[in-house]
Amino acid sequence: MKLSVCMATRNGERFIGEQLASILSQLGPDDELIISDDSSTDRTVAIIRDFADPRLRLLEGGAFYSPIFNFENALRHATGGIIALSDQDDIWLPNKVAVIRTLFNNRPGAIYLVVMDGTVIDETGREIAPSIFGCMRRSGPGVARNIFDNSYIGCSMAFSRELLDIALPFPRKIPMHDVWLGILAEIFGTTVFVPEKAVCYRKHGASMTDFGIRFIPWTQIKRRWFLSWYLFVRWVSVTTRQGH
């Protein structure tokens, strides 16, 4: 089955070359890497072009100023039956695509999402934690628990294309795309957290996303409320549509 890797970039020149090399070395001839760039002002776009790989599709000219809607743009252009998300500054371990394919060869239903573990590295590539899951208070499925404290980490996720029919378009005030995709997959299908390590997640000062961020209480309450409301509205919409 064709694999679409979707990446969102913005001023990622420091690490993107290493990340692209780690992904492209694993993709098959029919797979694709879709990159949506969000107003980069550094050499990010030039580095991407230098790869000159026919499997790479660069979407330029975006002005989203948001990783959520930059990722949405990439997802809208994906054509594969399996979709994997990628940050611009991580490194895929050599087993990642093989792990994804093995998991999806035995998927239990149409809507299926997996979250793989990985190590945490710093900007020099030095390991600072042996497990992404271990850095979080609790990793695993559960709608209420992930609304309260998200453990759906985008850089470790892959899912079936059928999820996009439910998840798109992204609502304007969801806290992040990964928790939206993860919980919807859980409501309408199956999600699995896999202990096998398949990515080096890079933590540095300019990271686009950070699973360790903790927000002030009022901000947390608003984010959880908006997420819960949008999930309910989307559930009503999907179930009504399926009923017809």
Residue 222, pLDDT above cutoff 50: yes
CA 214, CA 210: separation in Å to the nearest integer? 9
Query: Closest Cα to residue 80, out of 153, 183, 4?
Result: 4
pTM of the entire structure? 0.93
What is the mean pLDDT of the segment spanning 165-184?
Answer: 97
Residue 139, pLDDT above cutoff 70: yes
| Number of C-beta neighbours around residue 176 at 10 A | 22
Residue 215, pLDDT above cutoff 70: no
Residue 100, pLDDT above cutoff 90: yes
| Chain mean pLDDT for the chain | 93
Query: Closest Cα to residue 83, out of 178, 13, 18, 172?
Result: 178
| Number of C-beta neighbours around residue 89 at 10 A | 24
What is the mean pLDDT of the segment spanning 38-56?
Answer: 97
Classified by CATH at the fold level, domain 3-243 comes out as: Spore Coat Polysaccharide Biosynthesis Protein SpsA; Chain A (3.90.550)
